[in-house]
């Protein structure tokens, strides 16, 4: 299940299959771990070795508490205030003040799954033993996740360096028993009330712990992993939509031949072409175009339009971008991101690993790919609606053109979404506004890149749903009410599944609910499941 648009609170409980538990601290988290906890409410446990590593690194911090040498985050202020030495009796207040002052987000409430992904990512870094926090901090985080306690975070506040400061501060604030959260049922309650109801004791932060809780890329990373999970499904769905359009527009499958794509063997392109070949295999409609008959639908074009013929090239390039993003996420999921960090040999060292550039870049790259895949989908849809290019179909696929408008405005909806996706493709990571009195003079804006990618993924889901809805209507009209289907078997299965929720062609009906029904079938994977029931192997 993919996320709703980024705007607006999600007030319900964590839903979906509860899997797990996910054990944190035995090695890098997997993307599946993040999705299971963030999206489906899986429980988390901390490995005994992780608790031991945290205890050991905490000993390093305790040894520095009163040694007289300034140590950032232990005995100094933060950011541009790092030159201020903090007396021993004020250091608990230092950590508490840090969290309260940095919990400064604003705007629409961020989706629950984003917050849970952020919490899991920070817990993973704590479990490395490189941050110097006490084990109780990590075990309390895990307890909050298991109880479904989700701190309320506004969409504005993070510059992506030093990590996602404001979002992570809201979580740390809840750990302290302050601020506002949603409980396991989705109700908006004070943090201390939610913690008490779950039997969780708030934590009083000690030296370094406040800083360790907020210095990471966990929010943008969580959004990357969730978007990647959705895009793997959506790119396979894009191949399905393209195959339906090729068939419905009486195109040729010859351009998807394996030997042609071997001439330019980009892995994503090869995979996409193989998907489309499998989807169109033994299609009666395509076979009809190759016969010597004189029917009005006989294939006479030398080449199909680019939006049909070049689908593997575009979808394949998007797959390559996604593969790169997955590689970045994999490194990040196995990283310990904090500043300063406790090294394995017991040193405490400042560093710049909190900078979000690696994650911010790929979030932006994916938004570009999403916009292009959606743009091609909209162009295929438009061909169905233009009587001059649809090869024998009614104008706008209307039952009685003029009296009926058919799918005319469905394409307008697509066009509006695609236009927004192009705006969302403008990279956030090229921007930087200095902060903290020029101490933090270059920032990643990775959090903003993540938020806009989430909205882009939602837009692509809707665009593909409209193309599939339109292609299915066109194919029904090709069949002309005759018994049976003239589609390839996988496409026939998709059409049948769609018709369980959406009626076939007829006079104009209220169209918005039909678009939403198709979106849900794309979103939950039902259409791909129908395809996979007809293929020897799942789409790549």
Name the residues annotated as catalytic. 72
Classify burial at 513, counting beta carbons within 10 Å of its beta carbon; exposed 0-12, middle 13-18, buried 19 or more.
exposed
Backbone φ and ψ of 370, nearest 5°: -60, -45
Do the Cβ atoms of 397 and 387 come closer than 8 Å? no
Q: Could you report how far apart the first and last alpha carbons of the chain are, in Å?
A: 19
Which tokens in the block code for residue 56? 């050991």
β-pairing verdict for 44-46 and 22-24: parallel
Instruction: Judge whether 333 and 225 are in contact, CB under 8 Å.
Output: yes
Distances in Å between the Cα of 429 and the Cα atoms of 6, 26, 73 are: 19, 32, 27
3-class state of residue 303 by DSSP: coil
CB-hemisphere CA count at 13 Å for 297? 19
Alpha carbons 520 and 2: distance in angstroms, whole number: 10
Residues 6+ apart with CB under 8 A from 473: 397, 406, 407, 504, 505
**Separation of alpha carbons 215 and 223, rounded Å:** 17
Measured from the Cβ of residue 497, the count of other Cβ atoms closer than 10 Å reads 18
Which CA distances in Å does 488 have to 234, 384, 491, 535? 21, 19, 5, 11
Spacing of C-alpha 438 from chain mean position: 32
Dist CA 517 CA 462 (whole Å) = 10
Question: DSSP secondary structure string, 364-419?
Answer: HHHHHHHHHHHHHHHHHHHHHH-TTTTTSPPGGG-SSBTTB-TTHHHHHHHHHHHH
Q: Are 488 and 429 in contact (CB under 8 A)?
A: no
């Amino acid at each position: 299940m993919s996320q709703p648009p980024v705007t607006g609170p999600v007030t319900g409980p964590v839903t979906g299959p509860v899997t797990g538990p996910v054990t944190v601290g035995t090695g890098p988290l997997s993307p599946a771990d993040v999705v299971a906890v963030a999206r489906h409410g899986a429980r988390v446990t901390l490995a005994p070795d992780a608790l031991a590593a945290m205890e050991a690194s905490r000993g390093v911090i305790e040894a520095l508490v009163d040694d007289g040498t300034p140590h950032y985050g232990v005995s100094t202020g933060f950011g541009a205030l790092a030159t201020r030495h903090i007396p021993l009796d004020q250091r608990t207040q230092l950590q508490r003040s840090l969290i309260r002052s940095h919990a400064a987000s604003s705007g629409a409430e961020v989706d629950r799954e984003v917050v849970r992904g952020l919490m899991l990512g920070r817990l993973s870094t704590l479990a490395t033993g490189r941050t110097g926090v006490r084990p109780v901090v990590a075990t309390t985080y895990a307890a909050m996740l298991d109880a479904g306690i989700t701190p309320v975070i506004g969409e504005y506040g993070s510059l992506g360096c030093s990590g996602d400061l404001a979002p992570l501060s809201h979580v740390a604030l809840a750990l302290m028993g302050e601020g506002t959260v949603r409980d396991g049922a989705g109700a908006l309650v004070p943090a201390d009330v939610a913690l008490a109801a779950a039997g969780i004791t708030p934590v009083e932060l000690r030296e370094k712990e406040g800083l360790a809780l907020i210095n990471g890329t966990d929010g943008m990373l969580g959004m990357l992993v969730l978007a990647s999970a959705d895009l793997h499904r959506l790119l396979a769905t894009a191949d399905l939509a393209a195959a339906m359009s090729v068939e419905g527009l009486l195109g040729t499958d010859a351009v998807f031949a394996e030997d042609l794509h071997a001439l330019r063997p980009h892995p994503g392109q090869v995979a996409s072409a193989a998907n489309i070949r499998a989807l169109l295999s033994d299609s009666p409609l395509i076979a009809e175009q190759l016969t010597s008959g004189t029917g009005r639908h006989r294939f006479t074009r030398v080449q199909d339009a680019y939006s049909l013929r070049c689908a593997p090239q575009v979808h394949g390039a998007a797959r390559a971008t996604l593969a790169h993003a997955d590689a970045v996420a994999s490194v990040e999921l196995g990283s310990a991101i904090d500043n300063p960090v406790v090294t394995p040999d017991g040193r405490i060292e400042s560093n710049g690993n909190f900078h979000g550039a690696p994650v911010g870049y790929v979030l932006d790259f994916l938004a570009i790919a999403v916009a292009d895949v959606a743009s091609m989908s909209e162009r295929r849809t438009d061909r169905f609606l233009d009587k001059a290019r649809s090869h024998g179909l009614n104008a706008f696929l209307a039952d009685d053109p003029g009296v009926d408008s058919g799918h005319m405005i469905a394409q307008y909806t697509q066009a509006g979404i695609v236009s927004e996706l192009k705006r969302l493709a403008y990279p956030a990571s090229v921007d930087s506004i200095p902060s903290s009195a020029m101490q933090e003079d270059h920032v990643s804006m990775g959090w903003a890149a993540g938020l806009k990618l989430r909205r882009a993924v939602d837009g692509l889901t809707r665009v593909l749903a409209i193309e599939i809805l339109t292609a299915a209507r066109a194919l029904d009209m090709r069949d002309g009410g005759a018994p049976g289907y003239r589609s390839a078997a996988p496409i026939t299965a998709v059409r049948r599944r769609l018709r369980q929720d959406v009626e076939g062609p007829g006079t104009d009906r209220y169209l918005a609910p039909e678009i939403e029904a198709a979106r849900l079938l794309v979103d939950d994977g039902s259409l791909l499941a129908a395809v996979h029931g007809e293929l020897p192997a799942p789409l790549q």
